[in-house]
Chain A
Amino acid sequence: MFWKLRLPLALTFIVGLVPIVTFFLSTQAPVIGPAVQFARDRVERYMVIIAGFALLLGVVSVVQGSVRKIERRRPGWPFAASLLAGLVVMGAFGILSAMRVGPFQGLLTAPDGGMTPFFWMTRNLFNPLQAAMFSLLAFYIASAAFRAFRVRNVEATILLIAAFIVMAGRTPLGEYAFGWLPGGERWLPAVTDWIMTVPNAAAQRGVIIGAALGAASLSLRVILGIERSYLGTTEK
């Protein structure tokens, strides 16, 4: 009970108060200033260290899950095999290069000025794969926009008209299409800016204020030990 519940709750209370208290305290104060600076810096650093250990747990999980999938020939096991191969090859080259072992001298650039194997794989395999995934977003935005802008009711119609004006006002094509209208080069950007800075910003701020209060309320529940689902328990 002490190790699983009381100690984590006590630590949460103390660590949760640190950013709140240090936000208001001055780093220039004679006695507490250095302590405030120390707390501000260290909490962030400790987070990175703890995340490093947790990442190790993650790697173990990936290896265990993939090996099990391959052993039992579960559907999609070749994907697990390619994941393991990627993890081993990239991981090995990355670690050897970072530690400068044998011919692997340097993480990104070799002593002769060329690319290291690790950097070559990052640049020619990993980055293009990332870019391919990201580029799919353009197609998904088009299909999502089609669904959002279908005229079903009054709200959807207003959304369609607003979106049409904003898209026309923010693209050269819109300027070309409506520039011939009297004053077209002035009113289209002006209406676009008004839509973005007045109704759009007002709606966004409403959500932001609500979310900020929600986050603060949750933080208070966590600090006071009322919300404890993140500990994996709801025990009293």
Chain B
Amino acid sequence: MGRGEWTRRLAAGAAAAGLLHLCLAQRAAAADAAASWYDPQRVGAPLVVLLVFSALVLYFIHASRRGRALYIRRIAGIQAIEEAVGRATELGRKVLYLTGAGSIDDNQTIASLAVLRHVAGLTARYAVDLDVPGRDPLAFSAARETVQEAYLQAGRPDLFRSDTVHYVTYDQFAYTAAVTGIMVREKPAANFLIGAFQAESLLLAETGQSTGAIQIAGTAEVTQLPFFAVVCDYTLMGEELYAAGAYLSNEPAMLGSIKGQDFTKAVLILVILVGVLLEILGVHAIKDFMAIAG
């Protein structure tokens, strides 16, 4: 059985499980909560959304693998990556890449590593210096593997040095001081600030801006997004960050998952609109169903 067939079956299984869940949820309402093998307060909207979402994503992965053309909108920040590395090549200066404050269990860090892989491939191809100062130890180890592999795949393992990806510190402001120092002293031509950032976001971005570097940022931290949007040349906002790796890989399975995500968003927008309408009419069914306990 091929991979496509597996995907199709998984999608069908998820959809069937969704229907089964609806039946179970009705029965569970009558059952004693303590004796139930699942948490009745949590088995409601989250499980339905999870199953619908998984079914849609798996369906579009399957469709994409079968050759269906999927349109993914152009993301300016991703398109500018090559321009930024090209600029560093012309100026003969390094590219600085930060994976953020998150560890490897943070989705933003995983998304950042996917972009790092692409950036490292470009710096290897153009023979530009890449500098990746690490903050989280696990993310640092993964970044080193990612960059080393990217250099190998680009046919330039000789350009990878152990200090291309180097560790700095786990402390937030000590790390910020070290990185802003690199920005001011070595003046990288391009700065990538992609991942989970906290209060250091503006300190890093504003320093980078003052050195004249082209800056591409990306984060899903809502409180830090305005800072990046104001200071950086391009900003990948929230979902764009998560889509970046898939967009850059151009693999059908990856693009299919983005399409499934977009369709789920459309479904959620519809549910929100209907929910608002029903709330205005005094019907609280959707609001009650979507409420998550505990």
Contact = CB atoms under 8 A, between A and B. Distances in A.
Interface of A: 20, 23-32, 47, 50-51, 54-55, 57-59, 61-62, 64-65, 68, 75-76, 79, 129-130, 133-134, 136-137, 140-141, 143-144, 147-148, 204, 207-211, 213-222, 226-227, 229-234
Main secondary structure of the interface of B (DSSP, over half): helix
Given A23-B46, A134-B173, A214 B220 contact: yes
A214 B103 contact: no
Contacts of B54: 220
Interface string B256-281: 01101100110010000000000000
A137 B203 contact: yes
Nearest to B61: A226
B168 A76 contact: no
Contacts of A20: 50
A140 B202 CA distance: 7
Interface of B: 33-40, 42-43, 46-47, 50, 53-54, 57, 61, 103-105, 107-108, 110-111, 113-114, 116-117, 134, 136-138, 140-142, 145-146, 148-149, 153, 162-163, 166-174, 176-177, 181, 185, 199, 202-203, 206, 220, 222, 225-227, 230-231, 237-243, 245-246, 249, 251, 253-254, 257-258, 260-261, 264-265, 268
Contact of B110 (A58, A147, A204, A230): A230
Contact of A221 (B153, B167, B246): B246
A65 B239 contact: no
9 contacts: A24-B47, A51-B103, A58-B137, A65-B162, A136-B203, A214-B243, A226-B251, A229-B146, A230-B110
Contacts of A231: 142, 145
A65 B168 CA distance: 10
Given A130-B172, A230-B142, 16 more contacts: A23-B46, A24-B42, A51-B137, A59-B167, A61-B140, A65-B167, A204-B222, A215-B107, A215-B242, A216-B53, A216-B261, A217-B53, A217-B243, A220-B54, A229-B110, A232-B149
Contacts of A216: 50, 53, 261
Contacts of B222: 204, 207-208, 211
Given A54-B140, A64-B162, A231-B145, A220 B167 contact: no
Contacts of A31: 37
A144 B202 contact: yes
A25 B37 contact: yes
Given A54-B137, A130-B173, A141 B202 contact: yes
Contact of A214 (B42, B138, B148, B239): B239
B142 A65 contact: no
Contact of B257 (A50, A58, A136, A217): A217
